[in-house]
Amino acid sequence: MMRLHLVRHGPTHAKAMVGWTDLPADLSDTAAIARLSAHLPSHGTLISSDLSRAIATADALASPRRLRLPHDPALREMHFGAWEMRGFAEVEAEDPAHIRAFWETPGDISPPGGESWNQICARVSNALARLQAHGPDLIVVCHFGAILAALQTCLGLTAQQVFSHKIDNLSVTALHRTDAGWQAGTINQRP
């Protein structure tokens, strides 16, 4: 059996679309980090995206885990292109039809210079397929969009179904793969 423990990085406190912008995580809530670390398997293999907010969160969870894989850019958040670090209302004032279509009908529509929902799903799906060899317990510290993409890929959900899930900072979404396929353990659990 393969178990994925998808952990969303610590908060950035940004009030904008933060994709590939490399903002640091606020890891000052040491009690929450300690609870999260205790909740995760101590023998799990740890990996994170290559953005500093995920790396620092993985660093905080590293002990007692002994095996850590190199940071993986395929686990990054969605790339928002020209919309990076801008609020929804600001972009909506410029191009309301485009941003609404992007969020309301996720699929092939992408921000200018960014990536579509289908592109992040393909990127994350390929990464997860490659990483399964490092199981049986894989702790993946990544981002909101990457976790939703993993849920859609593994559970066969539609984009609209997966967008209904909330994924909090420092939460765990657990997926289990058996001979029968992938199953959800918990989604957005705050230990």
Q: Which CATH number do you get for residue 80?
A: 3.40.50.1240
User: What pTM value is reported for the model?
Assistant: 0.96
Mean pLDDT of 6-13: 98
Q: Which residue has the tokens 């990054």?
A: 76
pLDDT value of residue 135: 81
- Predicted pLDDT at 93: 97
Query: What average pLDDT does the segment 108-121 reach?
Result: 98
Query: Is the pLDDT confidence value at 1 over 90?
Result: no
Give the Cα-Cα-Cα angle 146, 149, 153 (nearest 5 degrees).
140
Residue range 122-167, pLDDT digits in tens: 999 999 999 988 989 999 999 999 999 999 999 999 999 999 999 9
What tokens were used for 85?
Answer: 């670090």
Structural domain for 158, as ranges: 2-189
How many other β-carbons are positioned within 10 Å of the β-carbon of residue 168?
Answer: 12
Tell me, rounded to whole angstroms, the distance of Cα 145 from its chain centroid.
Answer: 5
The answer on pLDDT for 117 being more than 90 is yes
What's the start-to-end Cα distance of the chain, in Å? 23
Domains of the chain: total: 1
Q: What contacts 143, CB < 8 A, 6 or more positions away?
A: 8, 9, 49, 51, 54, 75, 76, 77, 78
Task: Name 10's Cβ contacts closer than 8 Å, sequence gap at least 6.
Answer: 25, 26, 27, 29, 33, 53, 56, 57, 60, 169, 170
Q: What is the mean pLDDT of residues 104-132?
A: 96
Q: What average pLDDT is seen over the chain?
A: 96
The residue count for the chain: 191
43-81 residue pLDDT tens: 999 999 999 999 999 999 999 998 999 999 999 999 999
